[in-house]
């Protein structure tokens, strides 16, 4: 199944977790949410390298758009990286 990358501002973590759970309840199994224990980056990992790796593996991007997302340089970076990904 295609990997879905969930891009969100850390200030919207609760909403991102709700979105992930909703996607799971609708049959999505291959998700990446950086802050989730099951679908994200493990504590102590080299988070930036893991983020790049997951962006390259992704086939779809869902952006949890908010004022926080729009103001975040990292969210903009994720968007541009996924956009350059030939799998998406």
45 Cβ partners below 8 Å, 6+ apart? none
Does residue 88 lie in a domain region? no
What's the predicted TM-score (pTM) here? 0.86
Is position 8 within any domain? yes
Does residue 29 lie within any of the structural domains?
A: yes
- Residue 34 is part of which domain span? 4-83
Read off the pLDDT of residues 15-48 as tens digits, 9 standing for 90 and up: 999 999 999 999 998 999 998 888 788 888 898 8
In 1-88, alpha helices (H): 13-25, 47-57, 67-71, 73-83
Tens-place pLDDT, residues 53-87? 988 888 899 999 999 999 999 999 999 988 887 76
- Count of C-beta atoms within a 10 Å radius of residue 59: 14
Number of domain units in the chain: 1
């Amino acid at each position: 199944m295609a990997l879905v990358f969930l891009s969100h501002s850390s200030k919207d973590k609760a909403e991102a977790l709700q979105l992930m759970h909703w996607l799971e309840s609708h049959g999505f199994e291959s998700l990446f949410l950086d802050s989730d224990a099951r679908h994200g980056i493990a504590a102590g990992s080299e988070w930036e390298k893991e983020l790049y790796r997951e962006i390259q593996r992704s086939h779809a991007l869902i952006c949890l758009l908010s004022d926080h997302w729009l103001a975040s340089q990292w969210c903009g970076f994720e968007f541009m990286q996924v956009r350059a990904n030939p799998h998406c």
